Amino acid sequence: MLSVKVSFSLPNPYRNEFVSLSDSEHTVAFKLDEGTNVARSDFVDLGVISSFEGRRLLGQFSFEYTYEPDRRVITVCGTDFDSAGSMCLTTVPQGTTEYCRQRSAGGGFVSDELAANPHWNYLTTLTPGLRDVFRGIVRTVSDRLIDALKKVPQLIVQVRKDPPEMSAEEHQQFLTVYRGGKFLGFHEPGRQYGPQDEIFTVDSVFGGEVTLTYGEAFANVIGSTNDPKIAGLSWIQLWANQFGTYPVVCTSYQSNGFNCGNSLVGGHVIGGTHASIVPQGSNSVWILPICIQHNNNDNVYMQALKYLKGIWLKNYLGS
């Protein structure tokens, strides 16, 4: 089991004739078990609702995660990822079941959830700005949770994100073709494809970002491409788009005395020290910038030395 703590406070006290919230600091703890689960903090006391018998206002944070201890990987939603699994602040007047939910991104299920709340609904004009206050808190807690996870020694953190914004032309560059379930390469306009070929958009395989710890071992996915040069250019561009910088050196530069080259590709890699075939549907493939020499050598493993962040692919369809 993994446990993490996150602290937060309101940037300013919130006070009007209906609700008063203090700006004192709170700390919430989450315990994370193996598998896909929802983590819930204890309720914290956020303030008082004077308009409702002076009841205390309690808040609880929750989020969905997947923890794979054998791979040392935790997967959570990014703060901007609009999902029912993203960080959520549930507020409730003490002793009632009038729940209001605020998620870090998107709107959640507000209309349904508020139907049975005669006393506690912070979306009305009676509490101006309160929704923004809660949204700020839940986003802070989400950001700090992700930071806290990245600080856990030896833990690999995968964060669900939307693919970077792309023009229609760029989108076309990331169309991939699978033949009989195996990665064939990037879609080439004008090339003839057969009935056994399937074309996928980047949205169907883009999971988000992965952050490795320094020195983490990784190895090639065998059979991820039959043309590393063409494929590499586009995958490396995807990496560059995601992280806002074009890679200039192999992630595993000269690790264990390896003679790296200057030409880089976006390599399909997995955690660990053994290059291997990855089963279809796997969520364990990452894209990291590596030199062509490393990309073509399945007998050595690599290490995260120059870059710690990669693209995380979901529903990998290769091999």
User: CB of residue 299 vs Zn ion: minimum separation in angstroms?
Assistant: 13
Quick check: 294 binds Zn ion (CB under 5 A)? yes
CB 106 within 8 A of CB 131: no
Residue (103 or 294) nearer to Zn ion, CB:
294
Total number of residues that touch Zn ion (CB under 5 A)? 4
What is the edge-to-edge ordering of all strands in the sheet holding 197-200? 182-186, 176-179, 197-200
Beta strands in 221-283 (DSSP E): 264-271
Q: How many CB atoms lie within 10 A of CB 272?
A: 14
Burial class (CB in 10 A: 0-12, 13-18, 19+), 80: middle
Contacts of residue 112, Cβ cutoff 8 Å, sequence gap at least 6: none
User: CB of residue 216 vs Zn ion: minimum separation in angstroms?
Assistant: 15
Residue (138 or 260) nearer to Zn ion, CB:
260
Quick check: 291 binds Zn ion (CB under 5 A)? yes
Give the residue from 127, 97, 100, 118 showing the smallest Cα distance to 18.
127
- The token duo for 103 is 């998620």
CB 61 within 8 A of CB 142: no
User: CB of residue 236 vs Zn ion: minimum separation in angstroms?
Assistant: 13
User: CB of residue 289 vs Zn ion: minimum separation in angstroms?
Assistant: 9
Residue (155 or 265) nearer to Zn ion, CB:
265
Q: 28, 137, 250, 264: which one contacts Zn ion (CB under 5 A)?
A: 250
Residue (89 or 264) nearer to Zn ion, CB:
264
User: CB of residue 260 vs Zn ion: minimum separation in angstroms?
Assistant: 3
Quick check: 260 binds Zn ion (CB under 5 A)? yes
Of 35-64, which residues contact Zn ion (CB under 5 A)?
Answer: none
Which parts of this chain interact with Zn ion (CB under 5 A)?
A: 250, 260, 291, 294
